[in-house]
Structure 1
Amino acid sequence: MMGGASSRRGLWLDPRTKILLLLFCILSAMMAPSLFYELGLVVLIGLLGVCFGKWKYAWKGVLFYALIVLLTLWIMDTMTGTWRTMFIAFLGLFHKVYPCGMLSGIVLSTTKVSEFLSAMNRIHAPKKLVIPLAVMLRYVPTIQEDWRFIKDAMRMRDVSPSPKGLLTHPAMTVECIYVPLMMAASKAADELSIASITRGIENPKPRTCLVQIHIGPADLLAGVCFAAYLAVGLYWKGVFG
């Protein structure tokens, strides 16, 4: 237990540290000198997820990315011409986005809105930036919950939310799954905005939080690890050479 969050399981990091880790991850993905470096970055993110207690999320994410790396290597060795160029361009973008998306999933699922607001208040971040991000932190889990409910309800009607179901019964899938999801997403956005204003998200006075927000040893260690990995990538690419 860390950061005064005695009721939490696993690692706890300051929200400011998580934002810094995201920045390091974005720079590492942008400057990645090879596929194996990007695979190492995903493994590092997976280890961070394990420390947070996200075992299932971590090993699934690392395994899926490893399969994509093998697919990329196979395409590079076997394909030629236009198809090779098309697939390499698509997979190149995928390799840049995937580590950032994986780390963002960990950050969103382990950061409470109250902690985020308190941390942003410490650094005097502008409200115009903080309020949309705070609403987003609550919006994503709400949509995920609605998505699970819709899928469970539609499975009882033998409507599959998978790509196969979309290809075999496109009209039924869109009508029974994606239209309700869009309506739920619109409704959730309105409700969260109203709830945020009701709970005083625009209050200019300093916020309080039951969890002690501060930079601890775990924050420093995580920051050093990601910064060191970025430095290795820059050195590998010859930036320091």
Structure 2
Amino acid sequence: MEQFQAVASTKKGFCLDPRTKLLLMAIVATAEFLYAHTAFMIAVALIPFVLLLINRQYKTALIFFVLFTTGLVVQAVQNSIQFPMVLNMLIVLLVGLVLRLFPAFMMGAYFLKSTTASECVASLGRMHIGRQITIPLSVLFRFLPTMQEESASIKDAMRMREVQFGTQKFWNNPAALIEYRFIPLMISVVKIGEDLSAAALTRGLDNPIRRTNITQIGFTHYDVITLLITSTMLGFTFYI
């Protein structure tokens, strides 16, 4: 009984319900295409940026801040400098990708890092989502970290054999870098996907009977405060 209580203990500190995270992701993905004013885009980008900082994803937040700031600067300079047509099309494409899509990508990164598979499955069950969506998502939550570990192991093995950029073996056969990196990774990805799918079915995720879950989820004052601040900030910047 003590073991179940330890597993079911709630997180301390700032913690949002998975359903709130999904709602914020939908808000960011919709709002960034709703209005093209600079102040509104900055307000939308602040949502994932602040959440990443709270979740201590400092590296991801810094990369997002640098790319988004660069996109705003390039967008401002683009109107005053006449670029060639091809270069101008490329700049517009890249700036639009950073300013319009990266906030949603960062919300996805925050959701994956701050939510466990059990919390995701429990929240989707509360929302009466079918198993056609629940099972793939539960596999995805375990697939991405496992794939990152496998990629790091392949990279370490290549470094031990001096098969990396800048070494003598690389200059003798540059295509070997791609071959030795991606072929083992693709084979591992297929094997990992099959193992995780079998593990999900073994845990009874496809059982038609409603499952019980010891993971405690629920809305707290953090969810209310976050949604109030988000709606107020976006509404103020939109109407002002």
The alpha-carbon distance between structure 1 residues 233 and 185, as it changes in their structure 2 partners (threshold 3 A), is farther
Alpha-carbon distance, 1:169 to partner: 5.8
Aligned pair 1:56/2:59, yes or no?
yes
Q: Normalising by the residue count of structure 1, what TM-score does the alignment of the two structures yield?
A: 0.83
User: Hey, which bits of structure 1, 4+ residues long, moved more than 6 A?
Assistant: none
Residue correspondence of structure 1 range 28-177 to structure 2 within 5 A: 28-82=31-85, 83-160=87-164, 170-177=174-181
Quote the offset at 1:234 in angstroms: 4.0
- Following superposition, the deviation at residue 5 of structure 1 comes to 7.2
Amino acid in the other structure paired with 1:142: T
Q: Residue 215 of structure 1: which of 215, 219, 229 is its match?
A: 219
Q: 1:35 & 1:68 partners in 2: Cα distance? A: 11
1:182 aligns with 2:186: yes
153-162 or 214-223, larger mean C-alpha shift: 153-162
Structure 1 vs Structure 2 CA RMSD: 2.9
Whether contact under 8 Å (2:40, 2:237) holds in the other structure is yes
**Alignment deviations for residues 21-57 of structure 1 (CA, whole Å, 9 cap, x no partner):** 1001101211242345333432331211122232333
The farther-off stretch of 221-230 and 14-23 is 221-230
Q: Is the 8 A contact 1:49 1:57 kept in 2?
A: yes
Extract unaligned runs of 5+ from structure 1: 237-241
Give the structure 1 partner of residue 19 of structure 2: 16
Structure 2: gaps spanning 5 or more residues: 1-6
What is aligned with 1:239?
Answer: none
CA displacement at 1:137 relative to structure 2: 1.6
* Structure 2 CA distance for aligned equivalents of residues 183 and 35 of structure 1: 44
1-structure distance, mates of 2:171, 2:25: 36
The number of residues matched between the two structures is: 231
Aligned residues of 2:122 and 2:215 also touching (Cα < 8 A): no
Shift of 1:8: 4.1
166-175 vs 104-113, which moves further: 166-175
